[in-house]
Structure formats: structure tokens, C-alpha cells
Chain A
Amino acid sequence: MSAMGASAETFRWASTADPQTMDPHAVNSAPVLSFLNNIYEGLVRRGQDMSIEPSLATSWEPLTGENGWRFHLRKDVTFQDGSAFTAEDVLFSYQRASDEAADVRSWFAPVSDVRIVDEFTIDFVNTAPNPLFPDSIANFMILDKDWAMANDAALPARDAENFATMNVNGTGPFTLASRDPGVRTTLAPNANWWDEVNHNVTEAVFTPIGNSATGLAALLSGEIDFIQPIPLQDVAQVEGRDGFKVLEGEETRVIMFGFGHEHEALLYSSDVTDTNPFTDPRVRLAAAHALDLASINRVLFRGKIDPASQLVPAGISGYSEANQDRPAFDQDRAKELLAEAGYPDGFSFGLKCPNDRYINDEALCRAAASMFAAVGLNAELSTGPVRDYWPQLREDDFDMYLLGWSPGTFDMEHPIRFLMHSQDDERKLGSWNFGNYSNARVDELLPLIQQEIDPAARQAMIDEVVAVTQDEVAYIPLYTQPLIWAAKDNIELTQRADNFFMLRWVSVN
């Protein structure tokens, strides 16, 4: 921070994907939300440690007499075009973001009504008690009503672009200077930002570089100051060079294997075709025991991963301290369990993995398949790009699959809701529980967890869910995905666990 106010500092950075749009409500994807968080702001925001802190709302409290929250808005905030920020803009942004045309409308499923109380006070009414609601809308970005209306951008663009696809008007620390989609996007600081400026960037240039070797070369040749992420195996190379540094951290994303719990028979087996051995918890446990995470860590991840025991990493609220152990690497135990379950010679099955979604996903699955094979679980590995992968999972086209999950609310409740509760289309529960793992007790506990205000009681219920699912091996959690960024030595920045890159914490020395 020492260089604050120093001479012009152009900061160049690269990442693998370009934000598809500048419209904060059109696409719910990490590159877009991460990028736009530099331009737009929400009622609340996350700090460097992921904690929720005031942003456009200075404070908030639960409503009395009904479910929901009241937000007190910050005064004297202006949009980048100079117009004032008021509750009207919040209401408008809510309407815009919860419209059918918006991709982010699922955030507002628990909202039944939004009411303006006065110019700087607004109420969000929930359908049920929802203690985590403020946390869940950290990425709900507010844009200017008058600007949007004047430019025919009252709704997010759906099948054609509109003004908001290429232009911005937020309250955030940076504003868009120029945009060439897929090529180059330039940001400039917002001189009228309400908060204390903690960066010294006068111009920020973003370039998407899809090829990781090219990206690394760009960093090493000095053409860019920072890149996120870099491949694990290149960490040593970057660290070994003068003038560069690597930032290592952990994402909140836990990588796991899931099973086709409700399948009556294996789909891809050459020997067991009339039944599904994975319905037997012993078989699932055997699979867990077959995995040598130490070797995976050493060879594939260069020692950069932490094994995971549950679906969120330590440090996330609701993490179950009581259930920190994961099944050990024990091939003999795995074979024993298989024999007990009636498969002394093992069996073959299909394993589905994406090859462009998670770090080293394909290599991981190949290694896992090899390890499974060593105990008799002969995995027929099938990998493909993520564009084909989700449809396959949705169509139940797997025996076992790889999944990574990042709790959007940074709370254990999130994976329980999406991954552990039985599939329930109507209530939008278990929607990513592709194998439809189902346990009546888990289903029973979820609403209780959601509504419990007392932290201890809530944690006790979560501990029970984790214990049950560990016991039944609902999933095999593997590890927390590492987060590797690289930058020039003279760059100071903050690596946040959600892999969002915030320009407001950058200083160029």
C-alpha cells in the first residue's frame, strides 16, 4: 500500500477464460462474476478472508414478524455515471436479476417479496426462515435503474446483445474503459468510489489466454504482471526464476467421486450386468480404501493438495470437526470388503470424468482407475469436455463419476442441499445429487439446519449428517482443489479462496 498515489501504474493480467458478458445478471459463471465484482457491487461483499462485510448496505437485520431481512443502504454513493444510488436501484436490480431472462434468478428462490421502506432502506421477504440469506447474495450486483431503462437494458440480454452486454454502470472501484471480447478488456479506477482506495492501479488490462503454456510464457517474458491460475507442475519453474512469485492457496472446492446409488444395475460393466454393487456401502468403502491420496498428491499435485474428509474444506462454516478422518489407503482392506460384499474377484464398471473442468481432472481419474484396478475394481474410464459431461450426469449415464463442489454460500448447508438431500425437483433440492443418494434422516435434518439460529445446535445437526454420509460413503471426498496464481515479484495482491481476483487489493511496486 506504500505506493499509493504514485505515478501511473498499468497492471496487466491474464486468465484462461474471458467473461462472456458485462451484464451482471445474464450469466451465472465464475469468470463473469469474478470479473464484474470489480465494477459492480452488491449489498454485501466478501472480505479477503471470505467473511461477509457491508458494501452497498451498511447494516442489515432480520425482519420482525415475518421471514426475511432488512438492509440499510449506504448514502452518498454514486454510480460511475454520477447518478445517485437509492433503494429504487436495488429493487430494480432484484426485479432484473430474478426475471425469467436472468441466469442468476435461482438466488432469489427463497424470496417472496421485496419492499422499499424508504430511499435507503429495503426489505427482502423470505418464504421461510433463512439465516444465511445475506451471505447468499454477495454476488447480487446492483446496477442503475435509470441507466438501464434509458438504454433498453431493463432485462438481461437473452438471445441478442443489449447495451449492458458491452457497457457498465456500477458503483464499484473500477469502470470499463474498453472492451474487445475474447481479446482485451481495460478497466480504469472509479474516481468517485465511496470506499477507501487500497490499490495503486491506474489502468488494468485483462487478456484471456486459453493455452496455459502461452500464458506462462507471457508472464515469464514480462508481458503480463499476473496470471490465474498456472498449472501445478510449473510452480517450481516460476518460483525458481528471479522476479516472480507463486501464490498458493486452497479453493473451497472439494473434489469427490459420486455413485449411481439408485441404479438397479451397472451400465458399463462387462461382468456384472444384473445388479449394482455400488448400492452396497461396503463396496463404496472398498473404493475409498483403494485410493492412494499420498501418491496422487506427490505425483499429480506436487504436494499442493489437502485430503478431504467431507464435502467442504476445513474453515468453511459448518465444517464438521468431529468427522475429520477419511478412509485410509489400504488395498487389503479394500479387497476384504469386496469379498465380504460378494465380489472377491472384483467387477468392472464405468467411470465418467470431465477433462477440462477441474485441475488435472483427467490425470486424476486415470490414476484413480489404475488404483481401483489394483484391488479388482476395473474402471472403464470415459473422459470428455464439460460441455458433454453435465448432460451425461443429468441423464444418469454413469456408474461412478467425478464432481467438484464449491459451496456457493460458504456453508456446509449448501452441499447438503445440493448433493445429499434426495432429489426433489419441486423443492429444488438435491438438484446436483446425480446418483440420488437418499437418506431419510438427512432429508429430515436439512430444513432444520436451514432454520436453526443457534450455532451449536446447528453444528450438531450438521455433524450428524456428515457422520451418516461418511458412514454410508455417500461420496468419496478426495481433496480440496489447490489455487495457484503467479505474479511478478513487485505485485502485491490477495488470493481469495473463491478464486475471485479483486483489483482493489492490487498494488504495483
Chain B
Amino acid sequence: MVYFILKRMFQSVFVMLAVAFLAFSLFRFVGDPITQMTGVETSVADQERLREELGLNDPFVYQFARFTGDMLKGDFGFSYRTRQPVADMISSRIPATLELGVVALIISLLVGVPAGVYTALKPRGVLTQAILMTTLVGVSIPTFVIGIMLIFIFGVQLGWLPTFGRGGTVQIGGWESSLFMIDGWRALLLPAITLGVYQLTLTMRLVRAEMMEVMRTDYIRFAMARGVPMRRLHYKHALANTMVPVITIIGLQFGGVIAFSIVTESVFQWPGMGLLFLESIRFVDIPVMGVYLVVIAFFFVLVNLIVDLLYVAIDPRLRIKDVS
């Protein structure tokens, strides 16, 4: 088991390095940061001097080595645009994105899992068909349209919820959280729903498919034949076994949720990493873009490591050696 975890960590490091390389090398081509950093009237000679100062004229490999080396030292460089340390910029935005992503994930689980269970247990019900159809339409509308619609319905027309930003936040040891104020929750609701819709459908369909699969297994039929109470059978037996594969897929998807929050953040002016990333693209702020990619990849491998550990926790077959 220790070996298993070590192996996954080794693979994670490989993924991180590859992403760092990609991030750096690809963004090296995005455009000329100099024209963005300087004003309308800056002379060509001044631009060239700045280029030299920033090391943009050095050979490519040299620049990458510097990039990775600095990163390992915890030095993520400075933004071309704001001249702030990238580490500060990104880390100050991480709470917003993570809270959005996690709440979206929780919403999608809170709704998706029961809906999946219901539709799996009553595959022919009218409500099942309605749920399936609604969610299908839900995932077929582009996220940004859903977001804007929600804003106009609940923000502008009904005036129930704020239309942008994080609302009230509380600083807890450097972590700026929306979760401790009513205002924060109100602001979080619409973006989280927008971000969660796609995930919700995915979760529901996955749970439904796995659950139907599990309900046909011998151990469920045997539990039926022993007269195990239905509620216990559905939740303790079937759902637990359903969640084993579902957790992996959700883990794989979480990185996508974080990345897809780019769209949601841009619609709701949610001050997270995604918004920062979009601004950085606009200004060709290469250090910020590069670090963002690396951070996203880091979340991805981290979540998957957690999923692996969860697996071990849930599934005794991985935890306890076979004695036979």
C-alpha cells in the first residue's frame, strides 16, 4: 500500500513536470508581453531594454530551467502586469476558486447522488423521465448562458441574490472565506449552481448507471434473498458499492471543475484564479499563466491522490491483505 501511494506520487511528479514544461513552453509563444507592459508612447529602444532586463532574449531552454528552478525554490516570479509576486496573486485567489469549486461539487453531489439513486431504483417512473430530460437540457445549454440567465432572474428581476463578486468574506489565517457569512453564501449560490449543473448531471448519470449495475450483482440479490431491509439494502449495500467507481470519476472531474470555473468566474466576476487567468491572457502575463497551469495540475494530482487514499479507506480489498 505504501508502495502504491509512493508510485502514485512519483507519477504525480512526472505529471507536474510535464505540465510545467508545457505551460512554460506554450505560453512562451502566446504573444509579446512587452507591448502590453508599456504604454502607447514607449520607444522601441526602451522596449528592447525591458525585454533584455526580463530575460526574454535568453535561449528557450535557459528560460525554462530558470522557471522550474525558481518554482522549486518557491519563487514563482513577478507578474508582468502588476509587478506583484505571482505566488501572492495566485494564493490570494485560491480560496475563492476552491470554495466555489467545492461548493459546486457538494451541490452536485447533494442533488446528483439522490437523483441518481432515485432514477436507478425507479427506472420507469414518470419523475425519472422528467429528471433525465431536465438534466439533459441542462447540460446542453452553454454554462455562460445559464450563468447570465440566473443573474438576470435572481439578481436583476427578483433581486434576491447578488449578481457579482463574493459578498462578505472573513479572513481566517490568510484564507479569505465566504463560508462564514450569510452574505458570502448568498453571493456563492448562483455561481456554484452554474458551475455545478454540468457536474450534477454527470454525477447523477454515473450514479444511476453504476447503481443499476450494482443492483444486478449477486451480492445484492443475495441480500434481497436474505430479506435485508430495503432501505439498508439500497443505501448500505448498493450505494456504498456504487460510490467506489463514482469517486474516481468525480476526482478526475474535479480538476475540470476548477478549470471550468474560468467561465463561471468571468460571468459572475468571481475573484478567483480563473478570472485572474483570463486577465492574464488578455495582458500576456506569462508568469501568472504559467503558474496557474501548474497550480491547476497540482490540484488535479492532489485530488487524485486523495481519491486514491479514499479508495483505500472505502475498499477493504485494498486495505487488508488477502489471507487466503
Is A in direct contact with B (CB under 8 Å) within the complex? yes
A residues at B contact (CB < 8 Å)? 18, 20-21, 26-29, 100, 103-107, 157-162, 165-166, 180-184, 207-211, 213-215, 217-218, 220-223, 356, 385, 387-388, 390-391, 394, 425, 428, 431-432
B residues at A contact (CB < 8 Å)? 31-32, 35-44, 46, 49-50, 53-54, 78, 81-85, 89, 92, 148, 151-152, 155-156, 159, 162-166, 266-269, 271, 275-276, 278-279, 282-284
Residues A387 and B283 in contact, CB atoms below 8 Å apart: yes
Report how far A165 CA is from B85 CA in the complex, Å.
11
Residue of A nearest to B154 (CB): A221
A-B contact list, 17 entries, CB within 8 Å: A21-B82, A29-B39, A105-B46, A159-B54, A161-B78, A180-B92, A180-B271, A182-B279, A210-B279, A213-B151, A221-B162, A223-B164, A385-B282, A387-B31, A391-B35, A428-B43, A432-B40
Q: A207-B269, A218-B269 are in contact. List 17 more A-B contacts (CB 8 A).
A: A20-B82, A28-B39, A106-B41, A106-B42, A106-B43, A160-B78, A180-B92, A183-B166, A213-B151, A214-B151, A214-B164, A217-B152, A217-B163, A218-B155, A223-B162, A390-B35, A432-B40
**6 nearest CB pairs, A to B:** A28-B39, A106-B41, A183-B271, A217-B163, A161-B83, A157-B83
Q: Which residues of A contact B278 (CB under 8 A)?
A: 210
Residue of A nearest to B50 (CB): A158
Residues B41 and A207 in contact, CB atoms below 8 Å apart: no
Q: Which residues of B contact A165 (CB under 8 A)?
A: 82-84
Contact A211:B81 (CB < 8 A) given known A158-B53, A159-B54:
no
CB distance from A163 to the nearest CB of B (A): 12
Q: Which residues of B contact A182 (CB under 8 A)?
A: 271, 275-276, 279
Q: Which residues of A contact B42 (CB under 8 A)?
A: 28, 103, 106
Q: Which residues of B contact A207 (CB under 8 A)?
A: 164-165, 269
Q: Which residues of A contact B148 (CB under 8 A)?
A: 213-214, 217
Q: Which residues of A contact B85 (CB under 8 A)?
A: 160-161
Report how far A150 CA is from B279 CA in the complex, Å.
33
Report how far A222 CA is from B303 CA in the complex, Å.
39
Report how far A134 CA is from B14 CA in the complex, Å.
60
CB distance from B250 to the nearest CB of A (A): 29
Q: Which residues of B contact A387 (CB under 8 A)?
A: 31-32, 35-36, 282-284
Residues A211 and B82 in contact, CB atoms below 8 Å apart: no
Report how far A87 CA is from B42 CA in the complex, Å.
27
Residue of A nearest to B39 (CB): A28
Q: Which residues of A contact B83 (CB under 8 A)?
A: 21, 26, 157-162, 165
CB distance from A382 to the nearest CB of B (A): 16
Chain A contact residues: helix, strand, loop or mixed: loop
Report how far A217 CA is from B39 CA in the complex, Å.
32
Contact of A27 among B39, B44, B46, B164 (CB under 8 A): B39
Q: Which residues of B contact A385 (CB under 8 A)?
A: 282
Q: Which residues of A contact B267 (CB under 8 A)?
A: 211, 213-214
Q: Which residues of B contact A394 (CB under 8 A)?
A: 35
- Total number of A-B contacts with CB less than 8 angstroms? 130
Q: Which residues of A contact B275 (CB under 8 A)?
A: 182, 210
Report how far A252 CA is from B252 CA in the complex, Å.
52
CB distance from A24 to the nearest CB of B (A): 13
Report how far A222 CA is from B164 CA in the complex, Å.
11
Q: Which residues of B contact A160 (CB under 8 A)?
A: 78, 83, 85
Residues B268 and A214 in contact, CB atoms below 8 Å apart: yes
CB distance from A29 to the nearest CB of B (A): 6
CB distance from B172 to the nearest CB of A (A): 16
CB distance from A385 to the nearest CB of B (A): 7
Q: Which residues of B contact A184 (CB under 8 A)?
A: 165, 271
Report how far A201 CA is from B210 CA in the complex, Å.
60
CB distance from A91 to the nearest CB of B (A): 22
Q: Which residues of A contact B49 (CB under 8 A)?
A: 100
Residues A217 and B35 in contact, CB atoms below 8 Å apart: no
Q: Which residues of A contact B152 (CB under 8 A)?
A: 217
Report how far A106 CA is from B38 CA in the complex, Å.
11
Residue of B nearest to A157 (CB): B83
Q: Which residues of B contact A220 (CB under 8 A)?
A: 156
Residue of A nearest to B80 (CB): A159
Q: Which residues of B contact A158 (CB under 8 A)?
A: 50, 53, 83
Q: Which residues of B contact A211 (CB under 8 A)?
A: 266-267, 269
Q: Which residues of B contact A106 (CB under 8 A)?
A: 39, 41-43
Residues B269 and A221 in contact, CB atoms below 8 Å apart: no
CB distance from B57 to the nearest CB of A (A): 14
Q: Which residues of B contact A209 (CB under 8 A)?
A: 164, 269
Q: Which residues of A contact B53 (CB under 8 A)?
A: 158-159
Residues A217 and B40 in contact, CB atoms below 8 Å apart: no
CB distance from B230 to the nearest CB of A (A): 47
Residues A28 and B81 in contact, CB atoms below 8 Å apart: no
Report how far A157 CA is from B155 CA in the complex, Å.
40
Q: Which residues of B contact A104 (CB under 8 A)?
A: 39
Contact of B89 among A18, A159, A181, A391 (CB under 8 A): A181
CB distance from B45 to the nearest CB of A (A): 9
Interface centre among B39, B54, B278 (most CB of A within 10 A): B39
Q: Which residues of A contact B36 (CB under 8 A)?
A: 387
Report how far A355 CA is from B276 CA in the complex, Å.
20
Residues A161 and B269 in contact, CB atoms below 8 Å apart: no
CB distance from B118 to the nearest CB of A (A): 35
CB distance from A209 to the nearest CB of B (A): 5
Residues B78 and A20 in contact, CB atoms below 8 Å apart: no
Residue of A nearest to B79 (CB): A161
Q: Which residues of A contact B266 (CB under 8 A)?
A: 210-211
Residues A218 and B82 in contact, CB atoms below 8 Å apart: no
CB distance from B299 to the nearest CB of A (A): 20
Residues A391 and B32 in contact, CB atoms below 8 Å apart: yes
Report how far A209 CA is from B165 CA in the complex, Å.
9
CB distance from B163 to the nearest CB of A (A): 4
CB distance from B36 to the nearest CB of A (A): 6
CB distance from B169 to the nearest CB of A (A): 10
CB distance from A432 to the nearest CB of B (A): 8
Report how far A18 CA is from B275 CA in the complex, Å.
12
Residue of B nearest to A32 (CB): B39
Q: Which residues of A contact B156 (CB under 8 A)?
A: 217, 220-221
Interface centre among A29, A104, A221, A425 (most CB of B within 10 A): A221
Q: Which residues of B contact A159 (CB under 8 A)?
A: 53-54, 78, 83
Report how far A162 CA is from B84 CA in the complex, Å.
8
Report how far A218 CA is from B155 CA in the complex, Å.
8
Report how far A356 CA is from B281 CA in the complex, Å.
13
Residues B163 and A221 in contact, CB atoms below 8 Å apart: yes
Q: Which residues of A contact B151 (CB under 8 A)?
A: 213-214, 217
Report how far A412 CA is from B275 CA in the complex, Å.
39
Contact of A181 among B32, B82, B164, B165 (CB under 8 A): B82
CB distance from A15 to the nearest CB of B (A): 12
Interface centre among A29, A160, A182, A390 (most CB of B within 10 A): A182
Interface centre among A20, A104, A425 (most CB of B within 10 A): A20
Residue of A nearest to B89 (CB): A181
Report how far A160 CA is from B266 CA in the complex, Å.
27
Residue of A nearest to B271 (CB): A183
Report how far A161 CA is from B82 CA in the complex, Å.
7
Residues A218 and B163 in contact, CB atoms below 8 Å apart: yes
Report how far A208 CA is from B271 CA in the complex, Å.
10
Residue of B nearest to A388 (CB): B31
Residue of B nearest to A428 (CB): B43
CB distance from A338 to the nearest CB of B (A): 35
Report how far A160 CA is from B84 CA in the complex, Å.
6
